[in-house]
Amino acid sequence: MDHTIWNPQAECMGREELEQIQLERLQMTLNLTARNVDLYAKRFRKLGLLPEDVRDMSDLAKVPPTTREDLIQAYPYGLFAVPLRSVVQLRLAASSAEPIVVGYTRQDLRMWTELMCRAMTAAGVGRTDIIQVAFNYSQFPGAFTFNQGAESLGAVLTPAATVSAALQIKMMQDFRSTVLAGTPAFALSLIRSMNENASPDNDLSRLHLRVGMFGPEALQPQVRGVLERGLGLKAYTIYGVSEMIEPALAAECTQQSGMHVAEDHFLVEIIDPDTGASKAPGEEGEVVVTSLSTQGYPLIRFRTGDISRLHLAPCPCGRTSARLSPVHKRSDDAVSVRGIRISPHIVERILNEVAPDVADFRLVVQTVHGLGDQVELVVAQPEGSALTGTVLENLRSRLRRVFGLGLRLRQAPLNRLPLAGLTYKTTFQEKEIPATELPF
């Protein structure tokens, strides 16, 4: 089971053969975007570059990276490479304040399901498993792909969605679930619930879990250990880019030594986030991804903002694809709270619209073992003034609509704000779990 591979021909091919396939598919993608996407057509003309001129990475590096701002400005259909009638699924890939719409053709969805099957198989999941999907489907549309992957794999699917921790645990016990898919933060809440409601009927020995597949937030090493001990499973991380494909762009195998990239469908570079210069294998930098087989919404050199390393050494599992190190930080100021990305500049924009008299603010993110657990918005008013209850309620409601997450609100004097941390006045506070709450 450890070394079972879903698609050996694709996942175990030699580097020379893989690079030839990448080049052929890259040129097809460049031709597609040069014909049908104005953004890229203009860039290629400005560079005097024809798709057939791209013969290696040094040629592709001449093309300016695609940024989130490019995607936002192209909303809704400016980056689609096929007519809308060829698109069978649309997904919102960002908050309502800065919407991005990604479109998928039938072929795109088949490719995504294939990659999900690869990821599940790499983690040791098979047709005899019972997979409990505990993602919030509205906040993480990629959860639907777990359903499609499980069905294609032939496993039993239990879409538990947003039911309470207590009911999740009961379902695991009654259905004898063997695989849990969800966010690391939610899995921690399951452990906490089991500890707080300890009884013979609510005990680890009554669970049958053996595999956990976690995303979209990174799986910190400390969290992995807590989850494995607290739920009696092996924890794996799965990686995706919401603006392209989430999840299954890369996933861990049973060796747990990096996430295998689906290199036959995506070309991954590592660049210096400040200069844009390419980084050598093993060096840390920003992950940049190019679509190789996507039809509906292909992106060329998309800057993800994720910081990682790319490793080319073969894996003992037999797969020959490059591996990404787990992503534990970003090149921008966005923060992740329970798998939801919060951009401080969007908070600032909402404040300017709802409460323009606010003098300053801080986002204080409390973390448990490095995972965003809760976020508090602290606002400061000019001396002698304060936000009214109506304004605070409007602000709270607007933030929840935009991010899909409730933020705690607190007012403080200007001189009592937490010290400035990251850009856009963001600061972190570490909140460790008391020893009495640890699940071991």
Per DSSP, the three-state class of 86 is: helix
Q: C-alpha distances in angstroms, 358 versus 30, 365, 384, 410?
A: 47, 20, 12, 12
24's CB contacts (< 8 A; 6+ apart) are: none
436's CB contacts (< 8 A; 6+ apart) are: none
Mean pLDDT, the chain, as a whole number? Answer: 87
Query: Mean pLDDT across the stretch 235-253?
Result: 93
69-93 pLDDT per residue, tens: 999 999 999 999 999 999 999 998 8
Q: Are strands 179-182 and 211-214 parallel, antiparallel or unpaired?
A: parallel
**Among all chains, which residue has been given the structure tokens 């840390």?**
284
Full strand arrangement of the beta sheet holding 259-261: 156-159, 130-133, 179-182, 211-214, 234-241, 245-252, 259-261, 323-324, 310-311
How does residue 123 score in pLDDT terms, banded at 50, 70 and 90? Answer: very high
In this predicted structure, what is the pLDDT of residue 69?
94
Question: Lowest-confidence range among 150-164, 243-257, 355-369?
Answer: 355-369
Residue 424 pLDDT greater than 50, yes or no: no
Per DSSP, the three-state class of 139 is: coil
Question: What percent of the chain shows pLDDT beyond 70?
Answer: 91
- pTM, rounded to two decimals: 0.85
Please classify residue 289 by burial: count the beta carbons closer than 10 Å to its beta carbon, then call 0-12 exposed, 13-18 middle and 19+ buried. buried
Query: Mean pLDDT across the stretch 393-412?
Result: 88
Side chain identity, residue 401? R
In this predicted structure, what is the pLDDT of residue 415?
78
More confident site: 387 or 267: 267
DSSP string, 338-370: TTEEE-HHHHHHHHHHH-TT--EEEEEEEEETT
How does residue 267 score in pLDDT terms, banded at 50, 70 and 90? Answer: very high
291-302 pLDDT per residue, tens: 999 999 999 999
197's CB contacts (< 8 A; 6+ apart) are: 166
How does residue 439 score in pLDDT terms, banded at 50, 70 and 90? Answer: very low
Residue 94 pLDDT greater than 80, yes or no: no
Q: C-alpha distances in angstroms, 419 versus 176, 385, 401?
A: 48, 21, 28
Other Cβ atoms closer than 10 A to 312: 12
Other Cβ atoms closer than 10 A to 233: 20
Q: Please give the domain boundaries of the chain with CATH numbers for all domains.
A: 8-17+65-330 (3.40.50.12780), 335-416 (3.30.300.30)
Please classify residue 256 by burial: count the beta carbons closer than 10 Å to its beta carbon, then call 0-12 exposed, 13-18 middle and 19+ buried. middle
Q: C-alpha distances in angstroms, 285 versus 53, 62, 309, 327, 328?
A: 27, 18, 6, 10, 12
Beta bridge partners of 212: 180, 235
Beta bridge partners of 91: 102
In this predicted structure, what is the pLDDT of residue 294?
97
Query: Mean pLDDT across the stretch 39-58?
Result: 92
Residue 406 pLDDT greater than 70, yes or no: yes
In this predicted structure, what is the pLDDT of residue 96?
62
